[in-house]
Protein backbone atom coordinates (compact mmCIF):
# COMPACT_ATOMS: atom_id res chain seq x y z
CA UNK A 1 0.00 0.00 0.00
CA UNK A 2 2.76 2.46 0.90
CA UNK A 3 4.34 2.07 -2.52
CA UNK A 4 1.31 3.50 -4.35
CA UNK A 5 1.49 6.58 -2.12
CA UNK A 6 5.24 7.00 -2.65
CA UNK A 7 4.92 6.46 -6.40
CA UNK A 8 2.02 8.92 -6.74
CA UNK A 9 3.69 11.59 -4.63
CA UNK A 10 7.07 11.23 -6.36
CA UNK A 11 5.69 11.17 -9.87
CA UNK A 12 2.37 12.93 -10.38
CA UNK A 13 2.79 15.52 -7.62
CA UNK A 14 6.54 16.19 -7.52
CA UNK A 15 6.85 15.78 -11.29
CA UNK A 16 4.50 18.72 -11.77
CA UNK A 17 6.07 20.76 -8.95
CA UNK A 18 9.48 20.24 -10.54
CA UNK A 19 8.11 21.21 -13.95
CA UNK A 20 7.08 24.60 -12.57
CA UNK A 21 10.41 25.01 -10.78
CA UNK A 22 12.32 24.27 -14.00
CA UNK A 23 10.14 26.68 -16.02
CA UNK A 24 11.03 29.67 -13.82
CA UNK A 25 13.21 31.97 -15.86
CA UNK A 26 12.31 30.23 -19.13
CA UNK A 27 8.79 31.62 -19.59
CA UNK A 28 8.08 35.07 -20.99
CA UNK A 29 6.90 37.39 -18.22
CA UNK A 30 3.20 36.83 -17.60
CA UNK A 31 3.21 33.80 -19.89
CA UNK A 32 1.47 30.54 -19.12
CA UNK A 33 3.12 27.51 -20.57
CA UNK A 34 2.60 25.75 -17.26
CA UNK A 35 -0.80 24.17 -16.98
CA UNK A 36 -0.87 21.27 -14.56
CA UNK A 37 -3.28 18.35 -14.36
CA UNK A 38 -5.12 17.16 -11.27
CA UNK A 39 -8.35 15.20 -11.52
CA UNK A 40 -11.89 14.90 -10.30
CA UNK A 41 -10.87 12.71 -7.34
CA UNK A 42 -9.61 15.86 -5.58
CA UNK A 43 -13.23 17.01 -5.26
CA UNK A 44 -15.12 13.72 -5.50
CA UNK A 45 -13.11 11.05 -3.69
CA UNK A 46 -14.04 7.40 -3.90
CA UNK A 47 -13.15 4.29 -1.93
CA UNK A 48 -9.73 2.96 -2.87
CA UNK A 49 -8.48 6.21 -4.38
CA UNK A 50 -6.82 7.89 -1.38
CA UNK A 51 -3.39 8.21 -3.01
CA UNK A 52 -4.80 9.76 -6.17
CA UNK A 53 -7.10 12.11 -4.21
CA UNK A 54 -4.17 13.31 -2.07
CA UNK A 55 -1.98 13.95 -5.08
CA UNK A 56 -4.70 15.73 -7.08
CA UNK A 57 -5.52 17.99 -4.14
CA UNK A 58 -1.79 18.63 -3.66
CA UNK A 59 -1.38 19.71 -7.29
CA UNK A 60 -4.27 22.16 -6.91
CA UNK A 61 -2.90 23.57 -3.64
CA UNK A 62 0.57 23.92 -5.13
CA UNK A 63 -0.80 25.84 -8.14
CA UNK A 64 -2.54 28.33 -5.86
CA UNK A 65 0.62 29.09 -3.88
CA UNK A 66 2.87 29.04 -6.96
CA UNK A 67 0.60 31.63 -8.60
CA UNK A 68 1.09 33.90 -5.58
CA UNK A 69 4.84 33.41 -5.44
CA UNK A 70 5.33 33.83 -9.20
CA UNK A 71 2.90 36.73 -9.62
CA UNK A 72 3.91 38.83 -12.61
CA UNK A 73 6.55 36.31 -13.71
CA UNK A 74 4.54 33.31 -14.80
CA UNK A 75 0.98 32.03 -14.64
CA UNK A 76 0.23 28.56 -13.28
CA UNK A 77 -3.16 26.90 -13.60
CA UNK A 78 -4.60 23.40 -13.26
CA UNK A 79 -7.05 21.47 -15.37
CA UNK A 80 -9.06 18.93 -13.40
CA UNK A 81 -10.61 16.49 -15.85
CA UNK A 82 -13.29 14.03 -15.03
CA UNK A 83 -13.42 10.68 -16.79
CA UNK A 84 -12.56 11.03 -20.47
CA UNK A 85 -15.04 9.31 -22.78
CA UNK A 86 -12.38 7.78 -25.02
CA UNK A 87 -10.55 6.36 -22.00
CA UNK A 88 -13.75 4.83 -20.66
CA UNK A 89 -14.43 3.29 -24.05
CA UNK A 90 -10.92 1.79 -24.25
CA UNK A 91 -11.56 0.26 -20.80
CA UNK A 92 -14.79 -1.34 -22.04
CA UNK A 93 -16.93 1.08 -20.00
CA UNK A 94 -19.84 3.30 -21.05
CA UNK A 95 -18.26 6.38 -22.71
CA UNK A 96 -21.46 8.41 -22.30
CA UNK A 97 -20.48 8.95 -18.65
CA UNK A 98 -17.30 10.82 -19.66
CA UNK A 99 -16.27 14.06 -21.33
CA UNK A 100 -14.87 14.01 -24.85
CA UNK A 101 -11.09 14.48 -25.11
CA UNK A 102 -11.68 17.40 -27.51
CA UNK A 103 -13.71 19.17 -24.81
CA UNK A 104 -10.97 18.57 -22.23
CA UNK A 105 -8.48 20.12 -24.69
CA UNK A 106 -10.64 23.26 -24.85
CA UNK A 107 -10.26 23.67 -21.08
CA UNK A 108 -6.46 23.42 -21.37
CA UNK A 109 -6.57 26.07 -24.11
CA UNK A 110 -8.62 28.33 -21.85
CA UNK A 111 -6.01 27.96 -19.08
CA UNK A 112 -3.36 29.12 -21.52
CA UNK A 113 -5.29 31.85 -23.35
CA UNK A 114 -6.99 33.63 -20.46
CA UNK A 115 -5.04 35.84 -18.05
CA UNK A 116 -6.03 33.75 -15.04
CA UNK A 117 -3.56 32.26 -12.59
CA UNK A 118 -3.79 29.95 -9.60
CA UNK A 119 -7.07 28.54 -10.85
CA UNK A 120 -8.32 24.98 -11.09
CA UNK A 121 -10.52 24.62 -14.16
CA UNK A 122 -12.87 21.65 -14.11
CA UNK A 123 -13.24 19.65 -17.32
CA UNK A 124 -16.31 17.59 -16.58
CA UNK A 125 -19.33 16.46 -18.51
CA UNK A 126 -22.17 18.92 -18.08
Domain boundaries, the chain: 2-123
Name the average pLDDT for the chain: 93
Q: What is the mean pLDDT of residues 1-13?
A: 90
pTM value is: 0.91
The architecture of the domain spanning 2-123 is 3-Layer(aba) Sandwich (3.40)
Q: Which residues on adjacent β-strands are paired with residue 53?
A: none
> Per-residue confidence at 42, pLDDT binned at 50, 70, 90?
very high
126: pLDDT strictly greater than 80 = no
Amino acid sequence: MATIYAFSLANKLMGQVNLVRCAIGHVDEGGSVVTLTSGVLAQLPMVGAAAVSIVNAGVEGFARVAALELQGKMRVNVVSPGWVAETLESMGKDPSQGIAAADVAKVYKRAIDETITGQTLPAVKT
